[in-house]
Homo-oligomer: A and B are copies of this chain.
Amino acid sequence: MEHGDRDRVKRLNRIEGQVRGIRKMVDEGRYCIDIAQQIKAVRAALKRVGIEILDGHLRTCVTTAIQSRDKAQIETKMGEIKNLLGSWED
């Protein structure tokens, strides 16, 4: 496992704990707006991990495909990214 992955695993561990915290807040009947703010924070943290992963993807897989000059391979990579971004906020 490379350095970037270790960092992402750590962040996903923290996010898992935050989701558990939100569940506890609902369980305890905490104030709705506070719960919604926490959900917002977790969504933002997940988005940051997603961007890190996409950034890593561009620097490795996509870069390799482009350097190979294999058109079908490049087309696949480009299509995947476009498809992912198109539904990013759903």
Contacts and interface: CB of A to CB of B under 8 A. Distances in A.
Stoichiometry (number of copies) = 4
Query: Which 9 A-B pairs have CB atoms at the shortest separation, nearest pair first?
Result: A89-B89, A32-B57, A12-B23, A39-B50, A66-B66, A16-B19, A33-B80, A55-B82, A8-B26
Interface of A: 1, 5, 8-9, 12-13, 15-16, 19-20, 22-23, 26-27, 29, 32-33, 35-37, 39-40, 42-44, 46-51, 53-63, 66-67, 69, 74, 78, 80-82, 84-90
25 contacts: A1-B27, A5-B27, A5-B29, A9-B23, A9-B27, A13-B23, A16-B20, A16-B23, A19-B46, A33-B80, A36-B50, A36-B54, A39-B47, A39-B50, A40-B84, A40-B88, A43-B50, A51-B82, A51-B85, A55-B81, A58-B78, A62-B66, A67-B67, A85-B85, A89-B90
